[in-house]
Chain A
Amino acid sequence: MIDNLITALGAEFVQLSLTPIVIGILGAVACALPGNFLLLRRQALIGDAISHVVLPGIVAAFLVTGTITAVPMMIGAGGAAIVAVILIEIVKRLGRVEPGAAMGLVFTTLFAAGVLFLEMTDTSSVHIDVQHALLGNLESLIWFDAEGWQSLLDPVALATLPPQLPRLAVVLLAIVLFITLFWKELKISTFDAAFAEAIGIRTRVLGFALVVVTAIAAVAAFDAVGSIIVIAMFVCPPAAARLMTNQLGRQIGWSVAFAVISAVLGYVFAGYGPGWFGSPYAVSAAGMIATISGIILLLACLFGPQRKRTGQRAEA
């Protein structure tokens, strides 16, 4: 048994599974953190919107630069996300429609435009396809030069880590810094925007910053793990965490835990789960991670200690 475990976590594990798992964790947590605030501000859909408009952004970046290297792709995706956010604001104000409708309108239109773009231009020859955009390619992010755990201390081997890993690590660090530094402001303006404005918090600037942070998380994670995980992680871990506690700080802690559990279990089940049922094939890790996060949310709905909230108020 213990021998099995050592083999399972040996050199092959480091080479094939360690980096996808770590990247999965970083991407999941990077999305879950801002997701907490989006959920409480009833803006959870914005994560969905941003991850959809990434597609036309990437196609546009390819058309302009003619390459599919990471930097122009990410700039294109980030630019599209910001354009989408501005379009949502415009539709909301000029059309006088509710925010959810404005988001739905903008992101479906832009996503559809992206698909059209993709078909009309000569991009089909390169590796951009809707399948890849949705599910990413977590399993392919392996660490060729790793020879075992000792490679973690080897600068030469470390230099060959998949670039998504350090990129997501930096993005996650930036998100943690943003939330820590503006903790009071985010908390107060999310709970009571009018009061926040009156005590001098720049609520509109902060709200826009939150959306920009969300867009950065979505774009960085999308590149590594695909939009299914991005969408699921913006919503599922925070929503499940809300059912576990009545304090914002603890809610964020729970959401991080749920994101990590989803990433690890999802990857392991996708890789090894079918084998337990006698199938020689693995299933998509991205799909499994998103599914696990959904199951966690379901369990929290059924058993979470704070699930009965509304309708239980003391009588006035």
Chain B
Amino acid sequence: MSNAELIAEAGKIVDVAAKDAPLTVRGLTVSYGNKPAVFSVDASIPAGSMTAIIGPNGAGKSTFLKGTLGVIPRLSGEVRIFGKPFHEARDRVAYVPQRASVDWDFPARVIDVVLMGLYGSVGLFRFWRARHRQAAMECLDRVGMADFATRQIGQLSGGQQQRVFLARALAQNAEFYLLDEPFAGVDAATERAIVAVLKDLKAEGRTVVCVHHDLSTVAEYFDRVLLINVRRIAEGPVDTTFTAANLQETYGGRLATTHIDELRLA
């Protein structure tokens, strides 16, 4: 085989690997009004990884997730989920929106919310049945919320609400989990419970991506980072990419010195 063929062959292999990756994004641009919230972002999430999306407030982290999943329309860019357009790979993806994005006063019990995760397995014009309820209860059990199944969701604490959202995502039984700030405003016990579930998912070979705020726990919880501030700043393993220089570039002057000190301690 000639060198040229080898190179071509190697290029293909790389291509194939990227093609089957849970998420490949090229030049994603999303804009509210005239100002782009996310500008020409590339990303490539390998299977079985746990990636934190990091960046300052208003950097477009949530917008990146929503643009990826077509929840909000994208201006330009290409998104491939397991090598396919999102609408063809929907069943393999579970999305957990920000807890604060919904009205928890909605008339529903905990189990009703988890059942929403089984939507895909119920079918058009059909209703949830006993076997769906059983599956939902198992998911609630995994997040330690089985005792709360018949509680009204508005009566839960922030941490409990977040666990219910995670249980709904577990009910989807997906291969690729995208979570928007799952640790925002939750108690320490919930944070530990959620991390444990996410690590289980990873151990089962599933892929996890979280928008994450707490820089001090990045190295402990995740193995990869994607640094975003409207544009992509850097992406890669925590060891090589989660560096002071990259963080400084991501946060600009906004990363307080105390923050950096905390990171050093961690």
Q: Which A residues lie at the B interface, using CB under 8 A?
A: 40, 181, 183-184, 187-188, 190-192, 194-195, 197-201, 242, 245-248, 250-251, 306, 309-310, 312-316
> Is the CB of B157 closer than 8 A to any CB of chain A?
yes
Is A198 touching B108 in the complex (CB atoms < 8 A)?
A: no
Segment from B52-60, B98-106, B204-212, B238-246 that makes contact with A: B98-106
Q: Is the CB of A310 within 8 A of B105?
A: yes
A188, B106: Cα distance in complex, Å: 11
- Minimum CB distance partner of A200 in chain B: B90
Set A195, A245, A251: member contacting B97, Cβ < 8 A: A195
Top 9 A-B pairs, shortest CB-CB distance? A246-B152, A316-B158, A198-B95, A316-B157, A194-B97, A197-B71, A314-B157, A192-B102, A198-B69
Rounded to whole angstroms, the CA-CA distance of A201 and B71 in the bound complex is: 10
* A to B contact number (C-beta, < 8 Å): 93
Nearest A residue to B115 by beta-carbon distance? A184
A313 touching B70 by the CB < 8 A rule? no
| B215 on the A face (CB < 8 A) | no
Residue with the greatest number of chain B CB neighbours at <10 A, chosen from A40, A242, A310, A316: A316
- B253 interface residue (CB < 8 Å to A): no
Give the distance in Å from the alpha carbon of A247 to the alpha carbon of B158 in the complex. 20
| Cβ–Cβ < 8 Å partners of A250 in chain B | 107
Question: Contacts A192-B102, A194-B66 hold; do A200 and B116 have CB atoms under 8 A apart?
Answer: no
| Chain A residues closer than 8 Å to B113, beta-carbon distance | 191
Of B90, B101, B106, B155, the most chain A CB neighbours within 10 A belong to B106
- Is the Cβ of A251 less than 8 Å from the Cβ of B107? yes
Which single residue of chain A is at the shortest CB-CB distance from B185? Answer: A316
Asked if B166 is at the interface of the complex by the 8 Å CB criterion, the answer is: no
User: CB-CB < 8 A to B93: which residues of A?
Assistant: 198
Interface string of B79-105 (1 = CB under 8 A from A): 000000001001001011100011101
CB distance from B72 to the nearest CB of A (A): 8
Closest to A188 in B: B116
29 A–B pairs (Cβ distance < 8 Å), ordered by A: A40-B106, A183-B127, A184-B122, A184-B127, A191-B116, A192-B116, A194-B66, A194-B95, A194-B97, A195-B96, A197-B70, A199-B90, A199-B95, A199-B120, A199-B172, A200-B87, A200-B90, A245-B107, A246-B108, A246-B152, A247-B109, A248-B106, A310-B105, A310-B154, A313-B154, A313-B156, A313-B157, A314-B155, A315-B157
